[in-house]
Structure 1
C-alpha cells in the first residue's frame, strides 16, 4: 500500500512538473517580442512599396486562422489540446505537417546519438582503465576532475566548444 501511494505521488509530481513546464514554455514563446505573423509574411520594418491595406487584411486573416486574436489562456488551452493529440500544425517554412518534419529528422538524430554513445563509451572505458591503473595518484585525480567538469557543463556550452575546436583544426569548412 505504501509503495503504491509513493508511486502515485511521484506520477502526480511528474505530471504537475510537465504541466508547469508547458505553461512556462508556452508563455515564453507567446510573450516574446514581435509578431509571429511577421515571420509568416516575411516582412521587415522598412518594407517599401507594399500595399498596406492588403497586407493588413492578410495579417488579420492569419491572426484569426492561427488563433492569435484569442486570449492567452484560450490560446494555451487550444495549444495544449493539440499537443496532447499530437497535432502540432504545419511548418511556416515548408507547409508540411510538423510531425512529418520531426520524423524526417529522426534518422540523422539517431545516427548522431549512436556516434556520441560510441565515442562516450570508448573514452569512458579508456579513462576508467587509466584511472584504475593510477589509482590515488595525480593522474587519477586529474581525470576525475576533468570528468566532473565535463559532466557539469551544459550541452550548449560543449556544443560551442566542439564547434570551435572542429573549426580550429579544420574539420569544418
Structure 2
C-alpha cells in the first residue's frame, strides 16, 4: 500500500507541474495584450507601454515564466495586475467560500445518492427505483441556473427559510454560514445525486447477480452482512462519480456564485478573465489543479483500499 500511495503522489505532482506550465503559456497566448483590457479602450499607447513595463510584459516570455515558476515553488503567486494586491492573499479569502459550497454539495450528493442508489438496487422495480429513474431523466434535462432560480423563489423569497443572496463567514456565525451556503450547495448537488444513485443502482444490481453473493446467502449470512459486502463491491462506481462531480463543480461554481452573489473564486475567475489579469487566472488554475490532484489521489487510495486488485495494477 505504501508503494501504491507513493506512485499516486508522484503522478499527481507531475500532473500539477505539467498543467501549470501549459496553463502559463496558453494564458499568455490567449490574451495577446492584457494592458488593453486592464486600462480600457481609452488608454493611450504610452499608458499601455508604461503598464507593460510595470508588470513585466516588456521582458521575454521565458524570463517571465522563470520568475513565475520560481515564485510558484515557494507558494508565491505574484501580484494581481488589476489591483496590485497579492494573488495568494486574495485567494485565501475567496477559496474557502467556494470550497465550503462544493464540499457541502458533495456531502449531500454522497449521502442522498448512496441512500437512493442502494435502496433502488436492492429493490428493483419498487417505487423508489422508479423515482430514481424518473429523477435521473428530469434533473439531467433541467438547466442548473433554472434550478437555482427556482430554489431562490421557493425557499428564500416565499418561505424565507434561507437568504437569497450573500455569504456569512463561519467565524462570524456558524448558523448563518450554513444557511448562506445551503441553497447554492443543493442546486449544485441535485444533478450529482441522481448520477450517483443511478450508477450505484446499476452496480448493485450487477453485483447481486454474482455467484459469490448466492454463496454467502446459502451459508446463512444475514441480509445486513450480505448487503454490506454488496455495497463494498459496488462502491467504486459511486466513488468515481462523486470525485468527478467534485471536480466539475469547480467550473459550475461560476454560475451559482453569480446567482447567489457569493464572493468565491467563480466570480473572481470571471472578473479576471474580463480584465486580462493573468497572474490571478494562473493562481486560480493552480489552486484548482491542486484540488483536482488531491481528490483523484484520495479516490485512488479509497479504491485501492476497497479493491486490492487496484493496488496490484
Instruction: Tell me the TM-score normalised to structure 2 length.
Output: 0.39
Deviations 1:118-168 (A, max 9, x none): 321332233134314424779759948987xx9xx9xxxx9x932122235
Matching residue within 102, 105, 115 for 1:126? 115
Find the counterpart in structure 2 of residue 29 from structure 1: 27
Structure-2 change in CA distance of 1:165 and 1:36 (3 Å): same
Q: Does 1:164 align with 2:146?
A: yes
Shift of 1:29: 0.4
Counterpart mapping for 1:1-173 below 5 A: 12-41=10-39, 43-44=40-41, 47=42, 55-135=44-124, 140=129, 143=132, 161-167=143-149, 171=153
Task: State how far apart, in whole Å, the 1-side matches of 2:29 and 2:117 are.
Answer: 47
CA contact (8 A) 2:77 2:87 kept: yes
Deviations 1:37-81 (A, max 9, x none): 12221x22xx3xx6xxxx333322322222212222222111111
Task: State how far apart, in whole Å, the 1-side matches of 2:97 and 2:24 are.
Answer: 27
Higher relative contact order (CA 8 A, sep 6+): 2
What value does the CA root-mean-square deviation take over the aligned residues?
3.7
Aligned length: 152
Task: State how far apart, in whole Å, the 2-side matches of 1:18 and 1:123 are.
Answer: 32
Shift of 1:169: 6.1
Shift of 1:89: 2.2
Which ranges of structure 1 fall in alignment gaps of 5 or more residues?
none
Shift of 1:24: 1.3
Task: State how far apart, in whole Å, the 2-side matches of 1:35 and 1:29 are.
Answer: 11
